[in-house]
């Protein structure tokens, strides 16, 4: 029953995945917090308006324009970049699994992971359904 | 109320939602959307966007710890993620085409169902008969750490689990929740995977499932940075605190209280949905 054996490399794999997820979440939280402080200093005195749905402006909807906004130190852009890092964390985990299954020469799971990875990228970059 | 006060209150409420979600193991998403829409009158779409983001934060944070402990079955998770990501894309697609009042009613019904699931005692099964040949071919059978050393287990009913996972993904994409209860149902009940493996693998999958619909939500302008910021930071801190407290807390009593709160919120969501106020 070789399938029941937990090899050393598998243990190592679990450690890398665990660290990847932790670092991703922490990094995202730091960026969101930084942007949040800036946002509250700049816009804290205005009254919020979330009762009616307007949708976000175009520059907060796509990956490239969010990065542009964040680099221009716009507070909402920085928060959105942090949220984007958060969304990217599980995607990075899938990308790493892709690499790991390729190294293990596990064709079945390489295809499985590739399907999931493609769906995630389609959602984030392809956008409109 | 200005943005500073609004953000502080939202942060505090999200912290409590994250704390309760972690202590009861039901996740904070179920409380967040009703809290934002009913208490703060936030539009359903902004609320779902912010909730979805926070779900990624909590599940990835918790998964980081569980993966290292060796409970998570990464093969099962990876395979079933095909179903949940497809479902999540479908759910996000439907979310733009269904009126928010209908989404509120579905939300309420899903809440009622998860309250029912969590109040039911879990039967401990020790049967370990023949595995599903498909599970064997996909090398899903594995082991998990127990007090008596590594315990082997078989995985059953892969196609049925796959189907239920598709539904879990669709609910996650439509409602902005992790739908961990349905994921655990698929693995624990249908595929007969040990409970601890089911819950940790579910947690592992929630991040990827939510990320699949988060992309669509972001492109559609549902994710507002000003609202998502206090929600994400609050839920994340709350769930980290909850995980620390978990060892000492009276989880049984908490689950009963949490279930009661969920039932009240569910009825409110359905009522507001029916009267068209959400």
In a domain, A48, yes or no: no
Choose the closest CB to B228 out of A43, A51, A83: A83
Q: Report residue B136 CA to chain centroid gap.
A: 28
* Nearest chain A alpha carbon to B223: A56
Average pLDDT of chain B, as a whole number: 88
Residue B45 with chain A: CB contacts under 8 Å:
53
What pLDDT, on the 0 to 100 scale, is given for residue B21?
Answer: 82
Alpha helices, H only, B127-175? 133-137, 158-175
* Nearest chain A alpha carbon to B215: A124
In a domain, A49, yes or no: no
Helix (H) or strand (E) holding B144: strand B142-146
Which band of pLDDT confidence, cut at 50, 70 and 90, is reported for residue B166? very high
In a domain, A1, yes or no: no
What pLDDT, on the 0 to 100 scale, is given for residue A3?
Answer: 46
Integer Rg of chain A from CA: 19
pLDDT truncated to tens, each residue of chain A (129 aa)?
A: 344 444 557 788 888 999 999 999 999 999 999 999 999 999 988 888 888 888 888 888 888 889 999 999 999 999 999 999 999 999 999 999 998 888 888 999 999 999 999 999 999 887 544
The more confidently predicted of residues B27 and B143 is B143
* A73 SS3 class: coil
Choose the closest CB to A83 out of B46, B223, B230: B223
* Nearest chain B alpha carbon to A26: B61
Q: How far is CA B85 from CA B59, B203, B206, in A?
A: 15, 14, 10
Q: Do B1 and A115 touch (CB under 8 A)?
A: no
What pLDDT, on the 0 to 100 scale, is given for residue B247?
Answer: 64
Q: Return the residue in B84, B213, B219, B243 with the most chain A beta carbons within 10 A, the one to mutate for interface testing.
A: B219
CA distance A100 to A15: 13
Q: Do B2 and A46 touch (CB under 8 A)?
A: yes
Report whether pLDDT(B32) > 60.
yes
Total domains, chain A: 1
**Domain ranges for chain B:** 3-274
B227: left (phi over 0), alpha (psi -120 to 50) or beta: alpha
Residue A14 with chain B: CB contacts under 8 Å:
67-68, 70, 72, 74
**B141 Cβ neighbours under 8 A, 6+ residues apart:** A3, A4, B131, B135, B152, B153, B154, B155
Which band of pLDDT confidence, cut at 50, 70 and 90, is reported for residue B249? low
Q: Do A14 and B70 touch (CB under 8 A)?
A: yes
Report whether pLDDT(B127) > 60.
no
Distance from CA of B126 to the nearest CA of A (A): 18
Q: Do B72 and A14 touch (CB under 8 A)?
A: yes
Residue A95 with chain B: CB contacts under 8 Å:
none
CA distance B193 to B122: 13
In a domain, A4, yes or no: no
The more confidently predicted of residues B243 and B86 is B86
Report whether pLDDT(B67) > 90.
no
Q: Which domain holds residue A77?
A: 11-43+55-126
Distance from CA of B194 to the nearest CA of A (A): 15
Residue A40 with chain B: CB contacts under 8 Å:
3-4, 7
The more confidently predicted of residues B268 and A4 is B268
**A115 Cβ neighbours under 8 A, 6+ residues apart:** B82
**B166 Cβ neighbours under 8 A, 6+ residues apart:** B83, B84, B86, B87
In a domain, A99, yes or no: yes
**pTM score:** 0.89
* Chain pair A-B, CB pairs under 8 angstroms: 216
Choose the closest CB to A90 out of B207, B219, B230: B207
What pLDDT, on the 0 to 100 scale, is given for residue B113?
Answer: 87
- What's the pLDDT tens digit per position in B46-66? 999 999 999 999 888 888 888
Residue B81 with chain A: CB contacts under 8 Å:
94, 116
CA distance B118 to B97: 31
Q: Report residue B44 as tokens.
A: 């359903």
Report whether pLDDT(B128) > 80.
no
Mean pLDDT of B135-160: 89
Whether the complex's predicted ipTM surpasses the cut of 0.95: no
Mean pLDDT of B200-207: 90
């Amino acid at each position: 029953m070789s399938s029941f054996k937990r090899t050393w490399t598998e243990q190592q794999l679990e450690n890398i995945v665990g660290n990847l997820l932790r670092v991703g979440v922490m990094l995202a939280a730091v960026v969101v917090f930084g942007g949040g402080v800036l946002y509250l200093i700049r816009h804290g005195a205005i009254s919020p308006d979330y009762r009616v749905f307007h949708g976000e402006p175009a520059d907060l909807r796509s990956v490239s324009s969010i990065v542009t906004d964040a680099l221009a130190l716009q507070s909402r852009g920085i928060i959105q970049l942090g949220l984007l890092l958060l969304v990217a964390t599980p995607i990075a985990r899938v990308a790493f699994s892709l690499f790991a299954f390729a190294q293990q020469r596990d064709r079945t799971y390489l295809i499985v992971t590739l399907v999931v990875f493609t769906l995630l990228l389609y959602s984030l970059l392809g956008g409109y359904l | 109320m200005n943005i500073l006060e609004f953000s502080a209150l939202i942060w505090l409420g999200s912290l409590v939602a994250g704390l309760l979600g972690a202590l009861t193991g039901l996740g904070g998403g179920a409380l967040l959307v009703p809290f934002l829409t009913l208490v703060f009158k936030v539009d359903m779409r902004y609320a779902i966007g912010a909730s979805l983001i926070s779900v990624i934060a909590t599940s990835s944070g918790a998964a980081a710890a569980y993966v290292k402990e060796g409970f998570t079955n990464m093969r099962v998770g990876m395979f079933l993620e095909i179903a949940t990501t497809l479902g999540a894309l479908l759910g996000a697609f439907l979310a733009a085409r269904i009126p928010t009042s209908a989404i509120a009613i579905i939300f309420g019904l899903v809440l009622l169902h998860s309250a029912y699931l969590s109040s039911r005692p879990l039967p401990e099964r020790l049967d370990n008969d023949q595995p599903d040949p498909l599970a064997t071919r996909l090398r899903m059978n594995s082991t998990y750490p127990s007090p008596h050393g590594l315990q082997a287990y078989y995985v059953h009913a892969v196609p049925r689990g796959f189907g239920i996972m598709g539904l879990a993904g669709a609910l996650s994409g439509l409602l902005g929740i992790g739908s961990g209860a349905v994921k655990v149902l698929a693995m624990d009940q249908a595929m007969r995977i040990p409970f601890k493996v089911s819950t940790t693998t579910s947690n592992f999958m929630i991040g990827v499932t939510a990320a699949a619909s988060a992309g669509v939500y972001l492109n559609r302008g549902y994710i507002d940075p000003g609202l998502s910021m206090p929600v994400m930071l609050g839920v994340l801190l709350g769930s980290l605190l909850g995980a620390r407290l978990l060892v000492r807390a009276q989880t049984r009593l908490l689950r009963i209280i949490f279930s009661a709160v969920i039932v009240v919120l569910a009825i409110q969501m359905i009522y507001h949905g029916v009267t068209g106020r959400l």
